[in-house]
């Protein structure tokens, strides 16, 4: 079953067209990795899916579980079940991490017709995930991402993912700035989320993260389009021959 | 009463009009300063004072009433109605009027209300002062003198009730004397809705040797109000002044202040945070003056503003006037908007645009709100924030 169906997507940032008729289908329960050279449009694709204000969609469509989301507000897409783990999560001084995450979770629960969690229930849920990610307990009482190291920010993204339990998870350069231990902890968090139903879109420059999160499909994005889709074996070819080799095949 | 009828009157004429002696010191000072302020007056340059002075108001009778015992000091329409046991609250002529206040209305207010409300704060304690206004279309004018004792540490929570009045004009203010080696903390919370009342609060704060004043004002909502504060710091005296403004609609509010370092090793830290929505105008016109006698002073002054609407406007004028070399001083001012990246981040987790906006507005203010020691009072301020946030007219 297809959870996210991107059809002939054309998108601009400012006046510059970045995505030029991109087609991509994410299958339920599968890990899709997007690889590509700098400037190919990988981050623009992730931004287009979540409705970032930088990106304007000028053609094509994005269907989530069969429903078009391209005109939805970012918060509506999130409540539907789409989650983007940011490459550089922004710091938000003064917004308490736990308060933020409880507000987000309860917004989603209300959207799903469930009861909101009270502070005590939420704290229990949060604490159960903190130790798994090797996060210090005081991080939940600090301001959102403020003063966090690169690794702490990424772990915090994974914590949000574990709590919000989205259906489609987009990981934008999740491995950037992580040391081996942090990468392992983050990858374990991600692997825990694999349940045979949830779909992953892993956007990366390097194959390192794919040693930890085994992809089912590799898509190569170049010049605003998916130019090749193959199995995990494509990673080795890209490592050896680079992205130019893909252009030759087209 | 129409205050504008005082315009162009000399001392004798005004004394006759007000039925007070031409020897009245505050009245003489008021005339010496040029009488009623106008939009050209330094203290009121950014505030529409003339429309307030031009209003027709009912004058009130300030005859003292029986004071009931209660948990808080209640001053209703300029008259004490309630006071807690153990707090000395009484009426007395004000003997220590500032000689050189920058606000002419400080003197007019004293002249019109010669019998000030005197509050002596004994020991270490917390007090609540409630200013209650129930008269519409009235000018309500009163002065408060606050004293504490040496080596004592007190807190005053000041609040205002006037939701039921219409178009009144309040002039009030403190003459505050902070004793040596003592600390005095004042936390003011005032939410105004349009057309309840406008306010001018003209204060004088004297901080004696080794004394410390913490003055925190939380001014929220609409309408027109200005606090004009003059502070004098003796040796090793300190003031920590924090002003939070969160305005909506076409409100004009803010702080005009002078902090004067007179004694050596005196320190001041003044910080303003301003959140301006609608077509509101925030004012932070603040001077720190370091006199020749105030060697080794430390003075810090900062103003930050967030504009939530393209019609919102911030007047930010931090100023330093320094007459010595041996000091540490800095001042700064920034004005910006909510960070779109932060807004998007919150929205991308399912938080609605309006809630995300509110979270960021509160976050900006939180560094000040969290400095309030009493958590119930913190909660009160946050609740007022919520009310103002959801009540704005788009």
Inside any domain, residue A87: yes
SS3 state of residue B1: coil
SS3 B278: coil
Of A51, A90, A101, which is closest to B345 when you measure between CB atoms?
A90
Distance, CA of B241 to CA of B105 (rounded, Å): 22
Q: Is A121 on the interface with B (CB under 8 A)?
A: no
The model's pLDDT over B247-278, given as tens digits with 9 standing for 90+, comes to: 999 999 999 999 999 999 999 999 999 999 99
Q: How far apart are CA B267 and CA B213, in angstroms?
A: 11
Chain B nearest-CA distance from A173, in A, is 16
CA distance B143 to B134: 18
Length of chain B: 394
Banded model confidence at residue A247, pLDDT cuts 50, 70, 90: low
Residues 6+ apart with CB under 8 A from A126: A98, A101, A140, A159, A163
Cα distances (angstroms) measured from residue B246 to each of A85, A131, B15, B206, B219: 33, 40, 40, 28, 6
Tokens found for residue B198: 């406008």
Q: Are A94 and B355 within 8 A, CB to CB?
A: no
Whether residue B243 contacts residue B225, with contact meaning beta carbons closer than 8 Å, is answered with: no
Alpha helices for A139-249 (secondary structure H): 150-164, 180-192, 234-241, 244-249
- Contact criterion met (CB below 8 Å) for A168 and A81: yes
Q: Does A90 touch chain B (CB under 8 A)?
A: yes
Does residue A202 contact residue A34 with C-beta atoms inside 8 Å?
yes
Are the CB atoms for A74 and B347 separated by under 8 Å? Answer: yes
Q: What is the pLDDT of residues A86-96, one digit of tens each?
A: 989 999 998 99
Residues of B in contact with A102 (CB under 8 A): none
User: What does the pLDDT look like over B8-19, one tens digit per residue?
Assistant: 899 999 999 999
**What is chain A's percent helix, strand, coil content, to nearest 5?**
35, 30, 35
Quick check: B311 pLDDT over 60? yes
A61 and A177 in a single domain? The answer is yes
| Contact between B346 and A93 using a beta-carbon 8 Å cutoff | no
Tokens of B383: 């609740």
Instruction: State whether A172 and A214 are in the same domain.
Output: yes
User: Would you give the DSSP letter of residue B224?
Assistant: E
Identify the domain containing residue A13 by its residue range: 1-43+57-72+166-183+193-250
Q: Residue B340 and residue A53: Cβ atoms within 8 Å?
A: yes
Other residues' Cβ atoms within 10 Å of the Cβ of residue A29 = 15
Mean pLDDT of B21-49: 92
Residue B1 pLDDT more than 90? no
Residue B388 phi, psi (nearest 5) = -65, -40
Contact state of B351 with A107 under an 8 Å Cβ cutoff: yes
Please tell me the distance from the alpha carbon of residue B20 to that of residue A65, in angstroms, as a whole number: 82
What is the pLDDT at residue A238? Answer: 83
Single out the residue of B130, B145, B53, B135 nearest to residue B98, CA to CA: B145
A215 shares its domain with A136: no
Greatest alpha-carbon span in chain A: 58
Q: What is the pLDDT of residue B392?
A: 60
- What proportion of chain A, given as a percentage, has pLDDT over 70? 98
| Contact in structure between B92 and B143 (CB atoms under 8 Å) | no
Domain match, A9 and A87 both: no
Task: Report which of A101, A122, A184, A24 is spatially closest to residue B350, judged by C-alpha positions.
Answer: A101
Higher pLDDT, A150 or A69: A69
Based on the domain organization, do A175 and A212 belong to the same domain?
Answer: yes
The stretch B196-204 carries a mean pLDDT of: 94
Q: State how far the Cα of A70 lies from the Cα of A51, in Å rounded to an integer.
A: 7
Which of B220, B226, B231 shows the shortest CA–CA distance to B258? B231
* Count of the separate structural domains present in chain A: 2
How many Å apart are CA A200 and CA A198, to the nearest integer? 7
- Write the CATH number for A238: 3.40.50.300
| Pair of tokens at residue A136 | 């210090």
Q: Compute the C-alpha angle A168/A135/A102, nearest 5°.
A: 55
Instruction: Please provide residue B287's backbone torsions phi and psi, each rounded to the nearest 5 degrees.
Output: -115, 135
Same domain, A226 and A148: no
The first and second tokens of residue B138, run together, are 């009235």
Residue B292 has pLDDT above 90, yes or no: yes
Helix (H) or strand (E) holding B391: helix B375-391
Collapsing DSSP states into helix, strand and coil, what is residue B358? helix
- The pLDDT tens digits of the residues spanning B313-345 come to 999 999 999 999 999 999 999 999 999 999 999
Q: What pLDDT score does A250 carry? A: 45
In this predicted model, what pLDDT tens digit does every residue of A12-27 receive, in sequence order?
999 999 999 999 999 9
Same domain for A143 and A207?
no
Q: Is residue A48 part of a domain?
A: no
pLDDT, one tens digit per residue, over B96-120 is 899 999 999 999 999 998 789 999 9
Does residue A143 lie within any of the structural domains? yes
Q: Does A180 touch chain B (CB under 8 A)?
A: no
Question: Looking at CA atoms only, how far is residue A32 from chain B in angstroms?
Answer: 21
**What's the CA gap between B164 and B155, in Å, rounded?**
28
Q: For residue A96, is it within any domain?
A: yes
pLDDT at A243: 83
Low-confidence winner among A137-141, B21-25, B66-70 (lowest mean pLDDT): A137-141
Q: Give me the pLDDT at residue A173, please.
A: 86
Note the pLDDT tens digit of each residue in B59-73.
998 999 999 999 999
**CA A189 to chain CA mean position, Å:** 13
Q: Are residues A250 and A171 in the same domain?
A: yes
Kindly indicate the confidence band of residue A179, based on its pLDDT and cuts at 50, 70 and 90: confident
What is the per-residue pLDDT for B366?
A: 87
B54/B48 Cα distance (integer angstroms):
11
Same domain assignment for residues A200 and A242 = yes
């Amino acid at each position: 079953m297809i959870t996210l169906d991107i059809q002939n997507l054309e998108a601009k940032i400012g006046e510059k067209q970045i995505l030029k008729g991109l087609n991509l289908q994410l299958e339920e329960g599968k890990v899709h990795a997007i690889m590509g050279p700098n400037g190919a449009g990988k981050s623009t694709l992730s931004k287009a899916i979540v409705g970032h204000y930088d990106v304007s969609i000028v053609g094509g469509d994005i269907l989530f579980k069969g429903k078009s989301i391209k005109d939805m507000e970012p918060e509506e897409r999130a409540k539907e079940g789409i989650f983007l783990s940011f490459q550089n999560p922004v710091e938000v001084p003064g917004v308490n991490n736990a308060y933020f995450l409880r507000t987000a979770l309860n917004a989603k629960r209300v959207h799903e017709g469930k009861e909101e969690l009270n502070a005590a229930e939420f704290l229990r849920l949060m604490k159960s995930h903190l130790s798994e990610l090797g996060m210090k307990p005081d991080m939940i009482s600090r301001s959102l991402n403020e003063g966090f190291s690169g690794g702490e920010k990424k772990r915090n993204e994974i914590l949000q993912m574990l709590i919000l339990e989205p259906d489609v998870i987009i990981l934008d350069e999740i491995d950037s700035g992580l040391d081996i231990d942090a990468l392992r902890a983050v990858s374990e968090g991600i692997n825990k989320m694999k349940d045979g139903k949830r779909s992953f879109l892993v956007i990366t420059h390097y194959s390192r993260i794919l040693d930890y999160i085994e992809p089912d499909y590799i898509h190569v994005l170049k010049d605003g389009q998916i130019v090749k889709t193959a199995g995990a074996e494509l990673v080795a070819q890209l490592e050896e021959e680079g992205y130019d080799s893909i252009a030759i095949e087209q | 009463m129409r205050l504008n009828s005082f315009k162009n009157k000399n001392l004798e004429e005004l004394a006759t009009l007000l039925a007070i002696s031409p020897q009245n010191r505050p009245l003489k000072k008021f005339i010496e300063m040029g009488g009623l302020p106008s939009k050209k007056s330094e203290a009121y340059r950014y505030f529409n004072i003339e429309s307030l002075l031009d209003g027709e108001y009912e004058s009130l009778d300030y005859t003292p009433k029986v004071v009931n015992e209660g948990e808080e000091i209640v001053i209703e329409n300029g008259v004490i109605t309630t006071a807690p046991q153990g707090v000395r609250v009484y009426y007395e002529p004000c003997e220590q009027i500032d000689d050189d206040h920058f606000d002419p209305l400080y003197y007019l207010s004293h002249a019109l209300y010669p019998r000030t409300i005197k509050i002596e704060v004994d020991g270490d304690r917390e007090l609540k002062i409630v200013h209650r206004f129930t008269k519409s279309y009235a000018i309500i004018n009163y002065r408060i003198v606050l004293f504490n004792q040496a080596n004592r540490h007190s807190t005053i929570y000041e609040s205002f009730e006037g939701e039921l009045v219409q178009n009144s004009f309040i002039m009030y203010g403190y003459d505050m004397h902070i004793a040596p080696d003592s600390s005095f903390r004042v936390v003011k919370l005032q939410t105004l809705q349009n057309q309840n009342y406008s306010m001018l609060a003209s204060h004088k704060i004297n901080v004696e040797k080794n004394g410390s004043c913490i003055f925190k004002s939380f001014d929220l909502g609409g309408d027109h109000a200005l606090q004009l504060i003059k502070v004098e710091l003796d040796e090793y005296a300190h003031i920590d002044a924090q002003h939070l403004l969160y305005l909506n609609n076409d409100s004009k509010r803010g702080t005009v202040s002078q902090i004067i370092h007179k004694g050596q090793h005196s320190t001041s830290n003044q910080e303003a945070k301003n959140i301006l929505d609608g077509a509101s105008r925030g004012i932070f016109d603040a001077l720190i003056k370091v006199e020749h006698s105030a060697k080794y002073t430390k003075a810090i002054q900062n103003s930050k503003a967030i504009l939530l609407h393209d019609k919102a406007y911030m007047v930010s004028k931090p100023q330093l006037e320094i007459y010595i070399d041996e000091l540490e001083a800095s001042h700064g001012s920034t004005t910006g908007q909510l960070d779109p990246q932060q807004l998007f981040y919150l929205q991308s987790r399912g938080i609605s645009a309006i809630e995300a906006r509110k979270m960021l507005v509160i976050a900006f203010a939180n560094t000040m709100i969290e400095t309030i020691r009493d958590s119930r009072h913190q909660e009160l301020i946050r609740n007022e924030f919520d009310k103002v946030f959801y009540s704005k007219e788009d």
